[in-house]
Homo-oligomer: A and B are copies of this chain.
Amino acid sequence: MERAIRYSKKREAILNAIRCSKAHPSAEWIYHTLKPEHPDLSLGTVYRNLLFFQQQGMIQSVGVVNGQERFDGETNPHSHFVCSKCGAVMDLDQIPMDANLSKQVEELYGVQVQRHELTFYGTCKKCMQNKFEEAILS
């Protein structure tokens, strides 16, 4: 018998927070965002639900940025930009992901591919501006 899944107010709020944010939230971010509305929310619940949503395929990990795992409520393939300065993560909807690549990898290397990630690392607009201002002031 499969484990039943029940509704929970907090679970709904957590999923909603991820889906409504473009920031690719971390557990901590979700926790602090929801705390005002749900004063008795605990960090453990956030982590447990993040795992749950991942297992259900409802969200995906974008990887670990500055020590914190980041999540994405959009599960359609798309690439990301990560700012190495401030840790911002943004979607790059205009950069296409080649779906055929996965098949090529499977055929060439004899592995089974579930998904692939295309991620760019660098400095975001805001941080470049800050760098510029610092350079002037020094």
Chain A residues within CB distance 8 Å of chain B: 63-64, 81, 83-84, 90, 92, 94-95, 101-102, 104-106, 108-125, 128
Q: Decide: A111 near B81, CB < 8 A? Known: A92-B105, A105-B120, A121-B117.
A: yes
Q: Decide: A119 near B117, CB < 8 A? Known: A81-B109, A95-B105.
A: yes
Chain B residues near A113 (CB-CB < 8 A): 81, 120-122
| A118 and B116 alpha carbons, distance in the complex (Å) | 7
The residue that A128 contacts in the complex, of B83, B94, B111, B125, with Cβ under 8 A, is B111
| A128 and B106 alpha carbons, distance in the complex (Å) | 12
Asked if A111 contacts B95 (CB within 8 A), the reply is no
Closest to A124 in B: B111
The residue that A95 contacts in the complex, of B81, B94, B101, with Cβ under 8 A, is B101
A126, chain B: closest CB distance, angstroms: 10
A10, chain B: closest CB distance, angstroms: 25
Chain B residues near A114 (CB-CB < 8 A): 84, 121-123
| A95 and B63 alpha carbons, distance in the complex (Å) | 21
* The 3 residue pairs across chains A and B that have the minimum distance between CB atoms: A113-B122, A64-B64, A116-B120
| A135 and B106 alpha carbons, distance in the complex (Å) | 21
